DNA sequence: CTTTTAATGGCAGGGACTGCCACAAAGACG
DNA sequence: CGTCTTTGTGGCAGTCCCTGCCATTAAAAG
């Protein structure tokens, strides 16, 4: 018997749908273009048509790939959150969180710079801020799964959900703080300090005693 | 000497500006109308003109009072958050949080019902969800002020900010849980259970040990 | 090549907002 | 009282975000 699962494409006619991975890469590329435009001219002054032209697609397909203009920043911000998710998932039971963060919490420097720029611009752009918050919330189930495993509780347990949301909030607050801490030089010790601080707060949250009976 | 502060209106000419309080009441009234329409017809099917007519104002003034269509739900949701802020502020040092919540965490039942309905609808309405999350975030400085006072730390201390965000997140998660827990009968014991659960999670968060040196 | 399915692009249109201006409301001052 | 000054409201035109629809193209299988 075959070990490969049947994806239903055996003898299938017609053009195959694009891979989910391809779609993600494409959205990310457009996102980078959009953020560049947003940074240069501001969000309100950047039109959907400009984004589409910069990305080399028609406006129609742009609106198929993104629900709103502001949500064009989402894939880029996701790079940052995905990096953190990777940290949580690869966190060995024994390791010290600070050390692990230092080793595993990495991403392309130019993406990091762009992410921090978006976070800064989200202060005066409510639409962008909303995307940032919604994106953070969407990451919570993943956090809950990781935390639940660590605590030996189901991922939909209320305590686990609350704690996942708390971890999420800590990550957001500290990311904001990093973005606003003299953003001129993110490659300096600020990043390390940010990571240490994050590790410290997360340890406090994850070492919380279980709920009383 | 006079004790009343000079508001600069002495001998002032022209029509006096509308009170902030009046503006808030007006926005809340429109918000109730908008939510009623959203519940009846859905958000996408409700037009700005309809909201304006239902509220008895011109469309032009509607857009002066609300940035976007979805943000019309904000003042109503604020009722819920303001109630919690009131709880935090009036929380005596000695009292047990659960008891205090039970006594002070109250609001008009019809508003509560509408708030829970909006929270439920926010699951499939990204715009509404965004308003809910942004509103929650805007409450964090208030939480930070209250927590900072309790911990004897400045309100802009990073640890205080993180903890305020965690409290905020717990409130949001539990509100969501309440909204989805068989919303047919919010007047039953569900509400009390929600409050107890909230008190429990908040106690865990607020009793966190201070950061290690 | 034909058939079939998926993706794109162009076009028309609705509706959310905004800038602008005229006008009404509400007070101070003569 | 009328006049002046400031503030809020309504109406209108216009821009742009975004959607539904259809024709066209791309990529496979037969």
The distance (Å) linking the CA of A155 with the C1' of C22 is 61
Q: Give the per-residue pLDDT at B210.
A: 55
Instruction: Please list, in sequence order, all residues whose beta carbon lies within 8 angstroms of the beta carbon of residue B194, skipping any fewer than 6 positions away.
Output: B174, B177, B178, B181
Q: Give the per-residue pLDDT at B213.
A: 43
Q: Give the per-residue pLDDT at A25.
A: 98
Q: Which of A43-57, A137-151, B152-166 is predicted most confidently?
A: A43-57
Q: Give the per-residue pLDDT at A184.
A: 60
Q: Do residue A201 and residue B67 have CB atoms under 8 angstroms apart?
A: no
Q: Among B130, B169, B208, whose Cβ lies nearest the Cβ of A168?
A: B169
Q: Give the per-residue pLDDT at B185.
A: 61
pLDDT digits (tens, 9 = 90+) for A37-48: 999 999 999 999
The distance (Å) linking the CA of B58 with the C1' of D9 is 8
The distance (Å) linking the CA of A90 with the C1' of C7 is 37
Q: Which residues of A touch B181 (CB under 8 A)?
A: none
Taking the C-alpha atoms of residue A44 and residue A18, their distance in angstroms, rounded to an integer, is 32
pLDDT exceeds cutoff 90 at B189: no
pLDDT digits (tens, 9 = 90+) for B110-133: 999 999 999 999 999 999 999 999
Mean of the per-residue pLDDT values for chain A? 90
Taking the C-alpha atoms of residue A114 and residue B129, their distance in angstroms, rounded to an integer, is 25
Name the residue in chain B with its Cα closest to that of A209: B204
Q: Quick one: average pLDDT of B130-142? A: 98
Name the residue in chain B with its Cα closest to that of A67: B126
pLDDT exceeds cutoff 80 at A121: yes
- Cα distance from B82 to chain A (closest Cα, Å)? 20
pLDDT digits (tens, 9 = 90+) for B68-89: 999 999 999 999 999 999 998 8
pLDDT exceeds cutoff 80 at B100: yes
Taking the C-alpha atoms of residue A204 and residue A198, their distance in angstroms, rounded to an integer, is 10
Mean of the per-residue pLDDT values for chain B? 89
- In sequence order, which ranges of chain B are alpha helices (DSSP H)? 20-41, 48-55, 59-65, 74-89, 97-104, 109-121, 126-151, 158-180, 189-206
Judge whether A165 and A148 are in contact, CB under 8 Å.
Answer: no
Q: Give the per-residue pLDDT at A212.
A: 46
pTM metric for this prediction: 0.93
Q: Confirm whether any atom of chain C, the nucleic acid strand, is less than 7 Å from CB of B16.
A: yes
pLDDT exceeds cutoff 50 at B159: yes
pLDDT digits (tens, 9 = 90+) for A31-89: 999 999 999 999 999 999 999 999 999 999 999 999 999 999 999 999 999 999 999 88
Question: In the 8-state DSSP scheme, what is residue B48?
Answer: H
Q: Give the per-residue pLDDT at B190.
A: 82
Q: Give the per-residue pLDDT at A209.
A: 59
Taking the C-alpha atoms of residue B21 and residue B28, their distance in angstroms, rounded to an integer, is 11
Q: How far is CA B207 from CA B85, B124, B199, in A?
A: 19, 36, 12
- Cα distance from A182 to chain B (closest Cα, Å)? 16
Cα angle at A73 between A70 and A79, to 5 degrees? 155
Taking the C-alpha atoms of residue B209 and residue B186, their distance in angstroms, rounded to an integer, is 35
Judge whether A143 and A172 are in contact, CB under 8 Å.
Answer: no
pLDDT exceeds cutoff 80 at A2: no
The distance (Å) linking the CA of B66 with the C1' of D10 is 16
pLDDT exceeds cutoff 50 at A188: yes
pLDDT category of residue A16 using cuts at 50, 70 and 90: very high
Q: Among B126, B158, B173, whose Cβ lies nearest the Cβ of A165?
A: B173
| Closest to A91 measured CA to CA, from A186, A212, A1, A206 | A206
- Cα distance from B152 to chain A (closest Cα, Å)? 18
Q: Among B134, B201, B208, whose Cβ lies nearest the Cβ of A162?
A: B201
Q: Which of chain C's bases lie under 7 Å from a protein CB?
A: 3-11, 15-20, 24-29
Q: Quick one: average pLDDT of B96-104? A: 83
Q: Confirm whether any atom of chain D, the nucleic acid strand, is less than 7 Å from CB of A127.
A: no
pLDDT digits (tens, 9 = 90+) for B4-40: 455 555 678 999 999 999 999 999 999 999 999 999 9
Answer with the residue of higher pLDDT: B48 or B202: B48
């Amino acid at each position: 018997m075959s070990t490969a699962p049947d994806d239903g494409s055996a003898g299938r006619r017609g053009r195959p749908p694009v891979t989910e991975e391809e779609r993600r890469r494409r959205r990310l590329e457009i996102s980078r273009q959009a953020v560049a435009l947003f940074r240069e001219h501001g969000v309100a002054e950047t039109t959907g048509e400009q984004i589409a032209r910069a990305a080399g697609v028609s406006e129609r397909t742009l609106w198929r790939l993104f629900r709103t203009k502001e949500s064009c920043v989402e894939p880029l911000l996701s790079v940052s959150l995905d990096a953190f998710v990777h940290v949580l998932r690869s966190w060995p039971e024994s390791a010290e969180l600070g050390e692990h963060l230092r080793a595993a919490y990495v991403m392309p420097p130019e993406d990091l710079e762009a992410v921090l720029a978006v976070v800064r611009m989200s202060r005066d752009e409510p639409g962008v801020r909303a995307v940032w918050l919604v994106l953070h919330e969407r990451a919570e189930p993943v956090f809950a799964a990781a935390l639940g495993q660590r605590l030996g509780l189901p991922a939909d347990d209320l305590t686990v959900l609350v704690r996942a949301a708390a971890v999420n909030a800590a990550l957001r607050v500290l990311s904001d703080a990093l973005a606003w801490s003299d953003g001129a030089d993110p490659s300096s010790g600020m990043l390390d300090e940010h990571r240490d601080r994050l590790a410290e707060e997360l340890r406090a949250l994850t070492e919380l005693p279980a709920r009383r009976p």
